Structure 1
Amino acid sequence: MTTLLPRIMRALDQFHATHPWDHNAHYHRWMLRQLPRRFNRALDVGSGSGDFARLLASRAGAVHGIDVDPTIVDRARGLTDPAAPVTFTVGDALKEVPPGPYEVITCVATIHHMPFSDALTCFRYHLAPGGTLVVVGVYRPQSLSDYLIVAVAIPANVAMACIKNKGRKAPRPASMTAPTRSATMTFADVVRDAHQALPGARLYRRLFWRYTLVWHRH
């Protein structure tokens, strides 16, 4: 299966190029369900085009989005209502985060661009007591169970693309225009390092090449 998988993934990438849909946005509603109904300050790391930051703003007094890509930050600002309690800045989330603490910190498909343990330590430092950290990440398949999930995800991905695009070719959403990088850590690596940095963190493998992490600071 490991020799056939690259060929299948290349074919899937070609299909996805003309029938795109945002795998990360698929988890946005799930992420909101992990959070309080109201909170004061939130930080969205790797905020991209600002889709999730704007969702957070429906519950927060203030939301700060940070991303290293100035082009996508400009796009996020242009897509955001000036009256919304959201600000976006260009910067390195491990060095240039505005001082917290934050009751909510989120990070969607971005943490694999950073030193993983350093990022979790940084998030823990900025998270207020009683606060919640929610991460949606990507990982490198390695185990048999990983590949079984991939086998399910491939046809599910095609079906979702057809449903969301109504079977037609479609332009790439703004949320999918930021630079991307492949994951290097396996899910086992992620679990090991996460439990060292954040004792009690809950991690699960998900469909569409994602995992989730939720941690509450006591």
Structure 2
Amino acid sequence: MTILPPRVLRALERFNATYPWDHNAHYHRWILRQVPGRFDRALDIGSGSGDLARLLAGRATAVHGVDADAGITAQARRLTPPELDVTYTVADASAGLPAGTYDVITCVAALHHLPCTEALTRFRRHLAPGGTLIVVGLCRAHTLVDHLLGTVAIPANAATGWLKNKGRPSPRPVSMTAPVRPAEMTFDEIARTAGEILPGARLRRRLFWRYTLVWHRP
């Protein structure tokens, strides 16, 4: 639902294509503020081209990135300097996660591709005592608050793209190899599920069609 007419939406789509930016990477600095200054092992689920995994490697002894897309995982390996202890695995996280426990588990724009209950249960199982789970996810707009945030995000999205590109059009379109899947669960449904599996988890609606979840395992 939007209050903007189709003609305005089409113009915004053209503007956003000219000044693209990464909505998920926008939250990487926020993610780093949620984790300790130093920790042992980290797991990044839906690691994509490895941007977050490489940032975590500045804090962690070792980082393991998991993504179902072989092409983008190959790109992550090429972009990761050999001096960083980052391992990438091509795998479907719904089928399981790398063995062991992790002090930090991150999952950015990937949870809506997985069965929510099973995924959160698996994340809890692989999180070490005292560890931190951080999710930046997508949910289906349902309430008035959701739609209002979505409407506010439209001009904010255009302004942020223009600023991040320093007012210069992108020389080439941004392409994605990973499949795009719309979110099916609402924020309230995700919050109820998380409350059952991760008692005390903190969830917040965010701008740019995202929500965040932070849980510290006792």
TM tier, smaller: over 0.9
Partner of 2:25: 25
Moved more, 6-15 or 161-170: 6-15
For residue 50 of structure 1, report the CA deviation from its aligned partner: 0.2
Q: Deviations over 1:74-110 (max 9, x none)?
A: 0000110012110111001233422121000000001
Q: Does 1:54 align with 2:46?
A: no
Q: Deviations over 1:94-142 (max 9, x none)?
A: 3342212100000000100011111100100000010000000011111
Q: Which blocks of at least 5 consecutive residues in structure 1 are unaligned?
A: none
Normalized against structure 1, the TM-score is what?
Answer: 0.93
Letter in 2 for 1:202: R
**Rounded Cα–Cα distance in structure 1 between residues aligned with 2:5 and 2:153:** 14
SS at match of 1:215: strand
Partner of 2:209: 209
Alignment RMSD (CA, Å): 1.7
Partner of 2:185: 185
SS at match of 1:195: helix
SS at match of 1:129: strand
Q: How does 1:151-162 map to 2 (within 5 A)?
A: 151-162=151-162
Q: Does 1:141 align with 2:141?
A: yes
Letter in 2 for 1:141: A
SS at match of 2:42: strand
Q: How does 1:81-100 map to 2 (within 5 A)?
A: 81-100=81-100
Q: Which blocks of at least 5 consecutive residues in structure 2 are unaligned?
A: none
* Identity over aligned pairs, percent: 62
**Rounded Cα–Cα distance in structure 2 between residues aligned with 1:6 and 1:182:** 22
Normalized against structure 2, the TM-score is what?
Answer: 0.93
Q: Deviations over 1:183-212 (max 9, x none)?
A: 111111111111111111000000000000
**Rounded Cα–Cα distance in structure 1 between residues aligned with 2:76 and 2:13:** 25
CA gap of 1:22–1:6, structure 2 versus 1, over 3 A, is farther
Q: How does 1:164-183 map to 2 (within 5 A)?
A: 164-170=164-170, 171-172=172-173, 176-183=176-183
Q: Deviations over 1:139-162 (max 9, x none)?
A: 111111111111211111000010
CA gap of 1:44–1:3, structure 2 versus 1, over 3 A, is closer
